[in-house]
Structure 1
Amino acid sequence: MTKENKNLFTAGFILGLGILGAIDGVVFHQLLQWHHMIMSPNIHLEIYTDGLFTAAFSALMVWGAIKIFRDAKKGELGHNGDIFLSGILIGGGVFNLVEGIIDHHILQVHRVNPMAENPLLYDLAFLASGVVLILIGLWLKKLGQQAEQA
């Protein structure tokens, strides 16, 4: 892969981490009100930690955008859409896997849907979605690399 497309992939990966964090925050934390960063009877603490989470994924999206701008300004940014989208999908999948394994299973600070009859099912589906995103991203990356070599 060329340096330019590596830069594009890396920017996509960073953006993917932030975008999946945003989707997680909006859909699960705010709309469904299931997946707060910590489970606590203190709603103010739950909202505060969700706010810290929002700040973190927002910073990732800003970082990804700055990387794109800087690389483009130096003429070191690729233009392969498959490579870029693969970075986003792999970054998003890594977000789901890392967040799910650490927070749901190792630290057990929260569940995806703690009120469900079987919360583990939701946690496992969250992990599975991460694996699916990574697999699709790897497939797209391969397609992008093949197009680059053609």
Structure 2
Amino acid sequence: MVACAVIGAAVMAAVDEIVFHQILHWHHFFDRSTSTVGLVSDGILHTAELLGLVAGFTWYADLRRRGALSRAHARAGLFLGLGGFQLFDGIVDHKLLRLHQIRYGVDPLPYDLAWNGAALALLAVGAVLAVRVHRRPPARRSQ
């Protein structure tokens, strides 16, 4: 579950960076300085997400090679990682540390509600999947 949570967090970081930083130009990872610093911070985020993907998939491949991979745990972990990253970003990065907002020049409340609501939905899916896999008999958990 943890291996796929790492993958999920890295995938959500990539979606955030590609869509909101690069395509829409809504913000940089760190917006409290110059645009050059913002671009460097995006590069650091991109490096971290790539390292997360490599580490997560290496761990996943090792579990699979050893026959220890549970697809049900993997699915739960993926959703927990996706939602966990998004909620951390929405609460810690956006509100507590104020590294950036989702979008500038507009009322941030609808964006915050949508961002954190989507995070909670992803976490809820992951939690339901995790509970379901732990309620299965041990022989069926590797399915």
- Give yes or no for TM over 0.5: yes
Structure 1 runs, 4 residues or longer, greater than 6 Å off: none
How big is the alpha-carbon RMSD for the aligned residues of Structure 1 and Structure 2?
1.8
Q: How many residue pairs end up in the alignment?
A: 139
Q: Does residue 115 of the first structure (1) align with residue 95 of the second (2)?
A: no
Give 2:73's aligned residue. 83
Summarize deviations over 1:11-54 as a string: whole Å, max 9, x none: 11110110101111111111111131122462221111101001
Give 1:6's aligned residue. none
Provide the C-alpha distance between the structure 1 equivalents of 2:60 and 2:33, rounded to a whole number of angstroms. 42
Q: Does residue 136 of the first structure (1) align with residue 125 of the second (2)?
A: yes
Q: Percent identity?
A: 28
Once the two structures are TM-superposed, the CA of residue 145 in structure 1 deviates from its matched residue by 3.3
| Residue 46 of structure 2, aligned match among 54, 66, 69 | 54
Give 1:97's aligned residue. 87
Once the two structures are TM-superposed, the CA of residue 147 in structure 1 deviates from its matched residue by 4.3
What residue ranges of structure 2 are gaps of 5+ in the alignment? none
Provide the C-alpha distance between the structure 2 equivalents of 1:105 and 1:41, rounded to a whole number of angstroms. 17
Distance 1:148 1:15, change over 3 A: farther
Summarize deviations over 1:81-140 as a string: whole Å, max 9, x none: x32221111111110111111111111121001122x02321232111111100011112
What residue ranges of structure 1 are gaps of 5+ in the alignment? 1-8
Is the contact made by 2:90 and 2:112 (CA closer than 8 Å) also made in structure 1? yes
The alignment partner of 1:14 has SS state of helix
Distance 1:148 1:57, change over 3 A: farther
Amino acid at match of 2:75: L
Between 118-127 and 107-116, report the one with greater CA deviation: 118-127
Amino acid at match of 1:144: V
Give 2:15's aligned residue. 23
Query: TM-score, normalization: structure 1?
Result: 0.83
Is the contact made by 2:32 and 2:99 (CA closer than 8 Å) also made in structure 1? no
Query: TM-score, normalization: structure 2?
Result: 0.87
Distance 1:148 1:28, change over 3 A: farther
Give 2:64's aligned residue. 72
